[in-house]
Amino acid sequence: MKENITILKKVLLGAVGMSMALTACTDLNTTEKDSVVINTSGGKFEGDPASLLSSVYADLGALTDQANVYALYEQTTDEMLPPTRGVDWGDNGVWRTLHQHTWDPTHQQILDSWNQLNQRAFKCNQILASSPSDAQAAEAKFMRAFFMFFVMDLYGQVPFRNVDEGVDVNPKVMTRSEAFDFIVKDLEEALPNLSVRGPSADNGKASKASANFLLAKLYLNKAVYKSAVPEGPYTFDKADMDKVIGYVDAITADGYSFEPQYFDNFRTVASKELIFTSPSGTPQNRIYMTLHYDQNPSGWNGFTTVADFYAKFEDNDSRKHAESIAALGKNYYGIKRGFLIGQQYKDDGTPLVDSRTQKPLVFTEDVPLTGAATNKGIRVIKYHPADQGKYIFFRYADAYLMKAEAIMRGGTASQTALEMVNALRAVRGASALGSLNESAMLDERGRELYWEGVRRTDQIRFGTFTSTWAEKTVTEPFRVLFPIPQQALDSNPNLQPNPGY
């Protein structure tokens, strides 16, 4: 047993333990379990591919948490703020340092994200070493590509260990460029044996559309991942943009389209937009992490959006807010969908009172990063407590906007980028744009995809991640990559510190 524990630490590249560190005082805790057994001297590994594949899908639940991977993609951006309210959400500064871009290699959520992602990628290696069927191998390659994509995107270096390597072998490390090629190869090999699912409730497993989506995302960001200078500037190649267009067209051909009612994407209904969702983790953390203590259900009174981001929406844009309290009816808890601002209400329409101040519960636009009163900040509800749907990883509107951006960056298609963006805006009830540039495209992606875990990647690609906003003043270019965690560096000499750390 002692030997196996040692090996597991090596596999996870410096993990101290297997439990997920959720640092906020009010989170829902998720315990990670692992039963990997590897011969200490290396050798053949073979398990049950069906069981291992089910486990990999179940492992997606960790990405639905408000911490770790999700926090690295959202708390670091211009659309989310983690205010400390009294002693709540202080947590030794782990949230503030993310928003302010002052993290270092010892940050717990940077380490936990590294371990979570690499553990799951290794489990996919185990599936592929267990004599899987062609279909099982295709799903395992997609899932390996999925997890390795995040490691490449976040850290710029990707460790890799074969299942037949013993503990004395240090995992090799791919550069960002090498990892890009490896991930693309996995997806291209997987595609022929993945099923065509189309819009259906069975979207918690790999499909042709999910592989095409990830390929489109890879090629849209290829200039970033292949750049010798991580912070750019980036040069987008027309051939890459044409590939993005082709992959998105293949998704459309599988039957995906816009859901006419925006917030239906986040309900229990089978949306026409959902390409890949979590079959295990629920969206409840997205609800609790933002709601006030006195709302029903009682929230953790945590995260808010940034006032400047909220100002990007027109009032008639259905993505901004939906449904009056009266229209919601009973069992909707008085909580509207979209951005929650101003007076908040009970289910029966009675104004809510903040029990800590005995004043009306009125959410305000202004919110400081520290010392925030309990009512400060605009809250966000996309998944609603009354009818929360599946947790979404890939959605058709994202793919559609990737195609529009690829056209804007020189790709060839029958529509212009402006025509595509205005067609989406018409569905969402927003007025047509007269012109389109990079800033307007980034804004549109923000309006459509806010709080869905894509903003960091978007801001880096558009060159705004090192800008200033809200209470973020640090503009160090090297922050486009997170540091390799110190424990991982200590464990594997093939890893090197990222520049700036």
Bridge partners of 322, per DSSP, are 337
Average model confidence (pLDDT) for the chain? 91
Q: Please tell me the total number of residues recorded for the chain in this structure.
A: 501
Range from 15-29, 61-75, 125-139 carrying the lowest mean pLDDT: 15-29
pLDDT given at position 31: 42
Other C-beta atoms lying within 10 Å of the C-beta of residue 91: 18
Q: Is the dihedral of CA 77, 426, 378, 20 positive or negative?
A: negative
Residues 384 and 267: beta-carbon distance below 8 Å? yes
Pairing of strands 274-277, 172-174: unpaired
Q: How confident is the model at residue 42 (pLDDT cuts 50, 70, 90)?
A: low
Q: Pick from 150, 168, 166: which is nearest to 158 by CA?
A: 150
State the amino acid at position 294 in one-letter form.
Answer: D
Task: Tell me the pLDDT tens digit for each residue of 152-208.
Answer: 999 999 999 999 887 789 999 999 999 999 999 999 999 999 999 999 988 999 999
Residues 429 and 317: beta-carbon distance below 8 Å? yes
Other C-beta atoms lying within 10 Å of the C-beta of residue 476: 11
**Do the domain assignments include residue 10?**
no
**Do the domain assignments include residue 46?**
no
**Mean pLDDT in residue range 314-331:** 84
State the amino acid at position 333 in one-letter form.
Answer: Y
- Tokens 């002693």 identify what position? 87
**Mean pLDDT in residue range 69-78:** 98
DSSP 239-261: HHHHHHHHHHHHHHHTT----SS
Would the pLDDT of 15 be above 70? no
**Do the domain assignments include residue 352?**
yes
Task: Tell me the pLDDT tens digit for each residue of 349-367.
Answer: 899 999 999 999 999 999 9
Strands (E), 231-341: 274-277, 321-322, 337-340
What is the H or E stretch that residue 440 is in?
helix 438-449
- Tokens 């067609």 identify what position? 423
Q: What angle do CA 444, 446, 449 make, to 5 degrees?
A: 105
**Mean pLDDT in residue range 404-425:** 98
Q: Pick from 418, 441, 438: which is nearest to 233 by CA?
A: 438
**Do the domain assignments include residue 326?**
yes
Give the residue, 333 or 446, on which the prediction is more confident.
Answer: 446
**What is the token pair recorded at 396?**
């058709």
Counting the structural domains of the chain, the total is 1
**What is the token pair recorded at 264?**
């239906």
**Mean pLDDT in residue range 90-112:** 97
pLDDT given at position 269: 74
Residues 135 and 193: beta-carbon distance below 8 Å? yes
Task: Tell me the pLDDT tens digit for each residue of 218-259.
Answer: 999 999 999 999 999 999 999 999 999 999 999 999 999 999
Residues 20 and 68: beta-carbon distance below 8 Å? yes
pLDDT given at position 268: 75
Give the residue, 11 or 102, on which the prediction is more confident.
Answer: 102
pLDDT given at position 43: 62
Domain that residue 378 falls in? 284-387
**Do the domain assignments include residue 246?**
no
Helix 176-190 × helix 208-220 angle, to 10°: 150
**What is the token pair recorded at 27?**
């989170």
Q: Is the dihedral of CA 484, 151, 471, 301 positive or negative?
A: negative
**Do the domain assignments include residue 469?**
no
Q: How confident is the model at residue 11 (pLDDT cuts 50, 70, 90)?
A: very low
**Do the domain assignments include residue 8?**
no
**Mean pLDDT in residue range 355-382:** 97
Spatial neighbors of 435 by CB under 8 A, at least 6 apart, are 418
Q: How confident is the model at residue 340 (pLDDT cuts 50, 70, 90)?
A: very high
Task: Tell me the pLDDT tens digit for each residue of 296-315.
Answer: 999 999 999 999 999 999 99
pTM for the model stands at: 0.92
**Mean pLDDT in residue range 97-111:** 97
Query: At residue 360, what are phi and psi to the nearest 5 degrees?
Result: -55, 140
**Do the domain assignments include residue 319?**
yes
Would the pLDDT of 22 be above 50? no
Residues 45 and 70: beta-carbon distance below 8 Å? no
